[in-house]
Every structure is written in C-alpha cells, then in structure tokens.
C-alpha cells in the first residue's frame, strides 16, 4: 500500500462538476493498493499517518499530528501511485491491485478511519474521474508505504 499525503490549508474533490468532499486544514491522502495488501496493512499505514508530526507547533517546528491540530482528512483512491516506468514511456500499472480488490480495500480504509479517528473525514469515489484542488501547505508531501 502506498499513501501520498499532502499537508493542506484547504482541499476539495469534484466529480462531474460537483464537490463531493472538502476540508480546510488537514491532510489529503492519495491511496493506492497492491495485490498483497490486507486490512492489517491499511491499519498500519493509517496509524502511521494519524501520528505523523507534520503540523507546526508554536515554535514553527513540525511537531503536531493531524489529530492534535483538529485537522481533516480528504481520502482519494489513486491506483497511479503504482505506475512503473521502467520500460518505455507509457506507465504500467501491473503492480496495482485489480479494481475489485482495490475497491474492497478502499472501502475498508474509509470504514477503519471513520471508526477509529475523531477527525472530519471526506473522500472521493472509487474509480471516478475526479478533479482534486488543494493548497499544499509548506509544501509538505510525504510518501507512506508498507510493502
């Protein structure tokens, strides 16, 4: 599993011209899944993200988690995190989970986050054509992965 997180001052996801989800201060979490990912993999990654100290404290140091600053999460499925460009110039997605498995894992992730975090949580729609707008704060972008 790969999760690309971006610390944001605001973000939203639009589908067919309508806003599906939006947050103010928080993290946009782009997630991609591999065939060998499990619920335990998701739990590890989400708990890592939950505890990442990427928000600044009073001294300007990255020392606070998204929960400590009462931020939100905008979670977007993105299989392209598993793009391989080892050969040629057209990306291969052979390492990404097949859509049926990825959707099951994505739904479990959303359920796990909703049941285990007290944050404002929004999401996209699995497999939809989405337009994501965000203001990356910092910029801070971190890849969290568990193989």
- Which residues are catalytic, by number? 80
In this structure, are residues 19 and 109 in contact, taking their beta carbons and an 8 Å threshold? no
Cβ atoms of 2 and 46 within 8 Å: the answer is: no
Residue of 145, 4, 34, 38 whose CA lies nearest to 96: 34
| DSSP H or E segment with residue 42 | helix 39-51
Give the separation between CA 123 and CA 9, rounded to whole angstroms. 17
From residue 74, alpha-carbon distances to 12, 60, 84, 88, 120 in Å are: 8, 24, 25, 33, 9
């Amino acid at each position: 599993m790969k999760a690309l997180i971006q610390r944001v001052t605001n973000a939203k996801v639009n589908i067919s011209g309508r806003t599906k989800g939006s947050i103010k201060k928080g993290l946009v979490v782009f997630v991609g899944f591999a065939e060998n990912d499990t619920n335990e993999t998701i739990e590890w990654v989400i708990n890592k993200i939950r505890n990442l100290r990427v928000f600044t404290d009073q001294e300007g140091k990255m020392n606070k988690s998204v929960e400590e600053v009462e931020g939100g999460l905008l979670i977007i499925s993105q299989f392209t995190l598993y793009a391989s460009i080892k050969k040629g110039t057209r990306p291969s997605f052979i390492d990404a989970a097949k859509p049926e498995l990825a959707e099951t894992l994505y739904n479990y992730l959303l359920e796990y986050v909703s049941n285990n975090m007290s944050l404002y949580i929004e999401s996209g729609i699995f497999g939809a054509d989405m337009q994501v707008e965000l203001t990356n704060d910092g910029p801070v972008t971190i890849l969290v992965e568990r193989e």
